[in-house]
């Protein structure tokens, strides 16, 4: 707490700025004065949800108006202000010895409630503490230090988030168990810097992805939850682990990586159709095939016939194009150089293998949305301590599950 200068000016009645409850609080105080009084007790007695209660920014000169004259005898009085983060305590004394103490907000124990609410607001809105505090400093608004924020964060906010998270997890796991079905998981690693992240527990981001996958599966297995499918990106370690250690779980791939690869190939003139088509066609191939890898592949390879104006007899599972009549256009002749180039990409050995395993469902778009939420709560450019990062990831997941 620190004190700021003594003031002896201006008219007490200016507090008509306040709303009725503010004024009535003061009326109570007036009749029970003599000696130090604290509004705090009264605040604590009332069951008010202070988080939802409206708060105001009060400029110092406006506040000084309130405390110029003694409320009892009307004489000019001295007052001192003590600041504790967002709290200002005003103590007044007049020549008759009337003493009065006013606090701008209630306390929770010994903590100004505003410090707690604002710290929570910074975290729960996914803001950067540094920026949020700086913004108030720029506006000249009294605020606690980053150190205080970190203390409140560790002592109150992290435990609160963890406890909500654990309850939420219990409910979700219970619901999953009761549904008796097997789960389809979507998973992807998120690296804090491009490439590799230094981490205490694992060597790099690939190792982190593997470790995350193993721990996630172990956690579900401990809770007796079956997993039927996993949708993830195409890291070879993941492929090998799933094949050798979890053969009963079907592995599917996300579009993202394949799509990027195809867009790159599409830069060649003969393969331009790939960059135009890759997102929609690829998605459609997988989404309309119900996990049937062979069907996905035949749909994908039908591109080669389609561009040559052949729309039938693509394969035994996917026999003809689904579109109606097409306008005349520049078709690519089979056997031409352009067609051969396209063919070598469409039929690429690795691509063919991976396309069969493209995820049939919406899991990937859900995962992408989740990543956006994570980026909101924990932007990659901001460094967070482990506990801060944890709390922010929990919040992101809670937020995602809730909406
Ligand atoms: Zn007085
Ligand atoms: Zn066609």
Retrieve residue 154's tokens: 């560790």
Look at residue 20 and tell me whether its pLDDT is greater than 50.
no
Least confident range of 32-36, 61-65, 239-243, 367-371: 32-36
pLDDT of residue 19: 31
For residue 305, report the distance from its CA to the centre of ligand 2, in Å.
Answer: 7
Which residues make Cβ contacts (< 8 Å) with residue 287, sequence separation at least 6?
A: 360, 361
> How many angstroms is it from 58 CA to the middle of ligand 1?
25
User: Residue range 211-218: average pLDDT?
Assistant: 87
Which structure tokens are listed for 283?
């998605």
- Per-residue pLDDT at 196 exceeds 50: no
Q: Taking each helix axis from N to C terminus, what angle separates 386-402 and 363-377, rounded to the nearest 10 degrees?
A: 130
Distance 97 CA to ligand 1 centre (A): 6
Cα-to-centroid distance, 348 and ligand 2 (Å): 21
Tens-place pLDDT, residues 345-382 = 888 888 888 888 887 765 566 777 888 898 889 888 87
Per-residue pLDDT at 238: 82
- Mean pLDDT score across all residues of the chain: 80
Dihedral sign from CA coordinates of 135, 18, 91, 10 = positive
pLDDT given for residue 330 in this prediction? 80
Least confident of 25-34, 218-227, 261-270, 351-360: 25-34
Share of the chain above pLDDT 70, in %: 79
Residue 13 CA, ligand 1 centroid: distance in Å? 15
Q: Nearest to residue 104, comparing CAs of 121, 120, 83?
A: 83
Between the CA of residue 200 and those of 32, 207, 374, what are the distances in Å?
60, 12, 21
- Picking from 209, 198, 122, 115, the residue whose alpha carbon sits closest to that of residue 391 is 122
**C-alpha count within 13 angstroms, C-beta hemisphere, residue 189:** 23
User: What is the Å distance from ligand 2's center to 309 Cα?
Assistant: 7
Q: What is the pLDDT of residue 17?
A: 29
* Residue 33: per-residue pLDDT: 39
Above 70 in pLDDT, residue 331?
A: yes
pLDDT the model gives residue 276: 67
Mean local confidence (pLDDT), 103-123: 94
pLDDT, tens only, 374-391: 888 988 887 888 888 889
Greater pLDDT, 177 or 126: 126
Q: Please, are residues 257 and 233 in contact by the beta-carbon 8 Å criterion? A: yes
- Give the Cα separation of 306 and 297 in Å (integer): 14
Give the number of the ligand closest to the Cα of residue 329: 2
Average pLDDT over residues 327-339: 84
First CA to last CA across the chain, in angstroms? 41
Strand 183-186 to 227-232 pairing: parallel
Which ligand is in closest contact with the Cα of 323? 2
Binning pLDDT at 50, 70 and 90, where does residue 12 land?
very low
Query: What are the extents of the domains in the chain?
Result: 2-109, 181-254
259 vs 349, more confident: 349
Q: Which residues surround ligand 1, an ion (CB under 5 A)?
A: 70, 72-73, 94, 96, 98
Return the bridge partners of 92, or none.
Answer: 79, 100
């Amino acid at each position: 707490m620190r004190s700021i200068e003594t003031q002896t000016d201006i008219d007490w009645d200016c507090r008509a700025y306040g709303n009725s409850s503010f004024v009535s609080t003061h009326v109570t105080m007036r009749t029970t004065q003599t000696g130090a009084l604290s509004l705090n007790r009264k605040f604590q007695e009332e069951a008010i949800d202070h988080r939802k209660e409206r708060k105001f920014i009060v400029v110092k000169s406006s506040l000084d108006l309130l405390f110029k004259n003694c409320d009892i005898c009307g004489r000019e009085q001295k007052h001192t202000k003590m600041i504790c983060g967002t709290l200002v305590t005003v103590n007044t004394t007049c020549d008759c010895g009337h003493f009065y103490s006013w606090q701008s907000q209630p306390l929770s124990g010994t903590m100004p409630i505003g410090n707690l609410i604002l710290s929570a607001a910074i975290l729960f809105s996914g803001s950067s503490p540094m920026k949020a505090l700086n913004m108030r400093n720029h506006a000249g608004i009294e605020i606690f230090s980053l150190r205080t924020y970190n203390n409140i964060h560790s002592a109150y906010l992290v435990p609160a988030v963890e406890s909500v998270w654990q309850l939420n997890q219990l409910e979700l796991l219970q619901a999953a168990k009761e549904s008796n079905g097997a789960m389809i998981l979507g998973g992807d690693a998120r690296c804090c810097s491009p490439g590799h992240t230094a981490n205490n527990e694992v060597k790099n981001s690939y190792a982190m992805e593997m470790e995350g996958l193993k721990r996630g599966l172990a956690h579900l297995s401990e809770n007796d939850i079956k997993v039927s499918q996993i949708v993830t990106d195409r890291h070879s370690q993941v492929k090998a682990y799933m094949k050798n250690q979890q053969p009963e779980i079907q592995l599917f791939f996300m579009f993202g990586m394949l799509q990027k690869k195809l867009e790159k190939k599409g830069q060649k003139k003969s393969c331009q159709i790939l960059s135009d088509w890759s997102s929609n066609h690829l998605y459609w191939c997988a989404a309309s095939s119900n996990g049937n890898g062979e069907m996905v592949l035949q749909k994908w390879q039908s591109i080669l016939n389609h561009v040559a104006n052949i729309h039938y007899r693509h394969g035994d599972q996917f026999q003809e194009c689904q579109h109606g009549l097409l306008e005349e256009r520049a078709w690519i002749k089979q056997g031409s150089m352009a067609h051969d180039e396209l063919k070598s990409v469409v039929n690429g050995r690795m691509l063919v293998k991976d396309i069969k395993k493209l995820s049939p469902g919406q899991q990937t778009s859900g995962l992408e949305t989740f990543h956006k939420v994570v980026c909101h709560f924990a932007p990659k450019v901001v460094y967070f301590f482990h506990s801060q990062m944890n709390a922010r990831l929990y919040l992101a997941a809670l937020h995602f599950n809730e909406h």
